[in-house]
């Protein structure tokens, strides 16, 4: 019989009146078993089959690794576990040290673990009720295609809801039908914008700037701008899949214009990096290299980490353990953000600021404080920065070696050519630079590779501060001989080190002014400047 709670209470409460307990309830009371007593656990142990319930929760038939790439650039290598044909869980895969690139380079073991909470729950999205399992097509666009893609004047845009797409209905389509509509749309675009008639439409009707047609070359397929989102790229091949598709559009162009393979044009590639914002084009302007980053594994050895506009703890969770390791090692963490972010809660101190140009202003002020207090490493600054380079005060351009030395011939470069890929034309445009040598009290030419030990090998001790007079070759119509003239015309100009120019530039960035501009506390800016000057090594991590 079934022993209910009510029956148990009746039986247990009737001990003082046992004679009145009905036989049926008494039998129920007898069904209770005493707890198992184990005198010697080494001799015997009670039944443990119940443990299998918990073991079977994690039982799986097979597992496979994959790269988790829902909508980010982390590409965490994780492992999925499958049971009865269904992914039951996803876990971190501690194998990052075992795989590498085609040249045999492998990451450090310290990259483990990698995966965030989004990755842990990714399989729920796969099997969730909101996952889109079929194509959808906007009703107005379908009608436009069915009508033969008429020209989209204002009335047509209204009719087919190109001006109010968010209010339109989405139609469920089969894969065969949607592929047909996509192909028809692509053919229409390729035909619409090919040839002189297409050029006229682009310039006169669609108001494209003439320079945007520089690489159009008469092909409508050049109007296809291919750049897949992160999630899409994870499906069709990370980064490269969309670009391969762009190249295959040359087949469409060959069909539309009737040209051969040598003249067929593919689509236009919109880089997944360059078009994300101003970071990609900004880096070469400032640093000469495109976003040169250190290995994240180096971050763990930093004694000071400055996070600028960065929320590594919340937004870059797979990388957050690097900050944890810095903290564990006794390093200092500073966060500069407008909001008190999760990363700011982990910081030794947080510098609040206004959005906009606050970060630039704060760092320029820190530079002024370090320079004014001479907290910098003079030897390092001379060897590894451009501060000793001389700049003409009349043009505010760097003084070039071929301006100072009439018979100057630029020496051959090694690292810049063979490693960084510097082209001959770029080498000629950049030229070489000039410093004032304190040893010889004279001007000396240096190349872009004369840094560190190479500068020492040349016996040059560049001046970090100073204003000098130097004679330069005049480049104008009167000096017709140019560099090859036996009698070049000279003039004397004033030059000064870039270090001194920065001193002038930074005069406006005093603590009070910067605090007013940025809203950042002045004492924290000064504290950070002192930390940057005294704590080594340091890492500055910015951007999202």
What average pLDDT does the chain have? 87
Report pTM: 0.72
Residue 453 phi/psi, 5° resolution?
Answer: -65, -30
Structure tokens, 106: 């492998």
CB 449 within 8 A of CB 416: yes
Per DSSP, what are the bridge partners of residue 352?
Answer: 337
In sequence order, what are the residues at sequence separation of 6 or more whose Cβ sits closer than 8 angstroms to the Cβ of residue 472?
392, 399, 403, 404, 490, 491, 492, 493
Instruction: Find out whether 410 and 419 touch, Cβ atoms under 8 Å.
Output: no
pLDDT for position 96: 85
Identify the three-state secondary structure at position 513: helix
Q: How far is CA 504 from CA 489, 497, 530, in A?
A: 32, 11, 21
Tokens of 19: 């004679």
Q: Give me the pLDDT at residue 263, please.
A: 93
Give the pLDDT confidence score for residue 16 in this predicted structure.
Answer: 46
Q: What are phi and psi of 423, to 5 degrees?
A: -85, 160
Select from 49, 128, 48 the least CA-distant residue to 87: 128
Q: Are the CB atoms for 220 and 190 separated by under 8 Å?
A: yes
Instruction: Point out the least confidently predicted range of 289-298, 508-517, 518-527.
Output: 289-298
What are the sequence ranges of the domains in the chain?
Answer: 1-31, 60-97+108-127, 174-274, 296-374+506-542, 378-505
Please write the tens of the pLDDT for every residue from 331-368. Answer: 999 999 999 999 999 999 999 999 988 989 999 999 99
Reported as a pLDDT band with limits 50, 70 and 90, residue 277 is: low
Q: Is the pLDDT of residue 232 over 70?
A: no
Of 63-72, 324-333, 352-361, 530-539, the least confident: 63-72
**How does pLDDT run across 76-104, given as a tens digit for each residue?**
889 999 999 999 999 998 888 888 888 88
**Which CATH superfamily does the domain covering 296-374+506-542 fall into?**
Dimethylsulfoxide Reductase, domain 2 (3.40.228.10)
Query: Residue 113, preceding bond cis, omega within 30 degrees?
Result: yes
Q: Determine the Cα–Cα distance for residues 55 and 500; give it in Å rounded to an integer.
A: 70
- Cα–Cα distance between 225 and 216 in angstroms, integer? 12
* Long-range Cβ contacts of 177-180 (<8 Å, 24+ apart): 177/135, 178/135, 178/137
Instruction: Write out the two tokens for 259.
Output: 């040209």
Question: What are 81's strand-pairing partners?
Answer: 63, 89
Report whether 81 contacts 89 (CB < 8 A): yes
Q: Can you tell me the distance from the alpha carbon of 513 to that of 308, in angstroms, rounded to the nearest whole number? A: 20
Reported as a pLDDT band with limits 50, 70 and 90, residue 478 is low
Helix (H) or strand (E) holding 78: strand 76-83
Which backbone phi and psi does 268 adopt, to 5 degrees?
Answer: -105, 135
Terminal Cα-to-Cα distance of the chain (whole angstroms): 66
Residue 194 neighbours by CB under 8 Å, 6+ apart: 218, 219, 220, 221, 253, 256, 257
pLDDT per residue as tens digits for the range 108-140:
888 888 888 888 888 898 899 988 899 999 999
Whole-number pLDDT of residue 197: 93
Per-residue tokens: 153? 């004047």
Query: What CA–CA distance (Å, rounded) separates 345 from 320?
Result: 13
Tokens of 7: 């029956």
């Amino acid at each position: 019989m079934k022993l209910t709670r009510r029956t148990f209470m009746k039986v247990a409460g009737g001990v003082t009146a046992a004679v009145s307990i009905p036989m049926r309830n008494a039998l129920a009371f007898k069904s209770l078993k005493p707890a198992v007593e184990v005198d010697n656990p080494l001799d015997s142990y009670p039944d443990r089959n119940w443990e299998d319930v918990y073991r079977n929760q994690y039982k799986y038939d097979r597992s496979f690794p994959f790269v988790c790439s829902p909508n980010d650039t982390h590409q965490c290598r994780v492992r999925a576990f499958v049971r009865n044909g269904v992914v039951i869980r996803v876990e971190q895969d501690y194998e990052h040290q075992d795989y590498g690139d085609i040249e045999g380079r492998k990451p450090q073991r310290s990259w483990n673990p990698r995966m965030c909470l989004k990755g842990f729950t990714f399989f729920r999205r796969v099997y969730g009720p909101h996952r889109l399992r079929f194509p959808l097509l906007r009703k107005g666009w379908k009608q436009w295609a069915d009508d033969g893609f008429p020209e989209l004047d204002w009335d047509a845009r209204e009719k087919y809801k190109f001006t109010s797409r968010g209010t339109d209905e989405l139609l469920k389509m089969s894969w065969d039908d949607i592929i047909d509509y996509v192909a028809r749309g692509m053919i229409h675009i390729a035909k619409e914008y090919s040839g002189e008639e297409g050029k006229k439409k682009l310039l006169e009707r669609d108001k494209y700037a003439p320079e945007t047609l520089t690489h159009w070359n008469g092909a409508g397929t050049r109007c296809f701008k291919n750049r897949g989102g992160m999630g899409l790229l994870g499906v069709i091949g990370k980064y490269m899949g969309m670009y391969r598709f762009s190249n295959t559009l040359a087949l469409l162009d060959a069909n539309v214009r009737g040209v051969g393979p040598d003249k067929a044009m593919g689509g236009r590639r919109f880089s997944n990096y360059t078009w994300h914002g101003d970071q990609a084009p900004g880096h070469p302007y400032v640093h000469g290299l495109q976003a040169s980053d250190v290995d994240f594994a180096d971050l763990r050895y930093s004694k000071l980490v400055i996070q600028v506009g960065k929320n590594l703890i919340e937004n870059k969770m797979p990388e957050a353990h690097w900050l944890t390791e810095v903290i564990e090692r006794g390093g200092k963490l500073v966060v500069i953000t407008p909001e008190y972010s999760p990363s700011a809660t982990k910081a030794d101190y947080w510098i609040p600021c206004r959005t906009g140009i606050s970060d630039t202003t704060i760092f320029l002020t820190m530079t002024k404080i370090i320079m004014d207090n001479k907290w910098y490493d003079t030897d390092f600054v001379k060897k590894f920065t451009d501060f000793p380079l001389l700049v003409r005060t009349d043009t505010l351009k760097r003084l070039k070696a071929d301006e100072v030395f009439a018979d100057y011939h630029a020496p051959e470069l090694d690292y810049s050519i063979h490693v960084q890929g510097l082209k001959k034309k770029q080498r000629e445009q950049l030229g070489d630079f000039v410093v004032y040598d304190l040893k010889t009290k004279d001007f000396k030419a240096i190349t872009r590779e004369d840094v560190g030990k190479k500068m020492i090998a040349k016996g040059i001790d560049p001046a970090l501060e100073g204003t000098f007079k130097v004679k330069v070759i005049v480049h104008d119509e009167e000096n017709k001989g140019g560099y090859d003239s036996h009698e070049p015309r000279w003039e004397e100009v004033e030059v000064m080190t870039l270090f001194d120019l920065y001193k002038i530039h930074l005069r406006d960035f005093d603590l009070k002014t910067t605090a007013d501009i940025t809203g950042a506390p002045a004492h924290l800016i000064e504290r950070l400047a002192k930390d940057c000057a005294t704590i080594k090594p340091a890492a500055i991590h910015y951007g999202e």
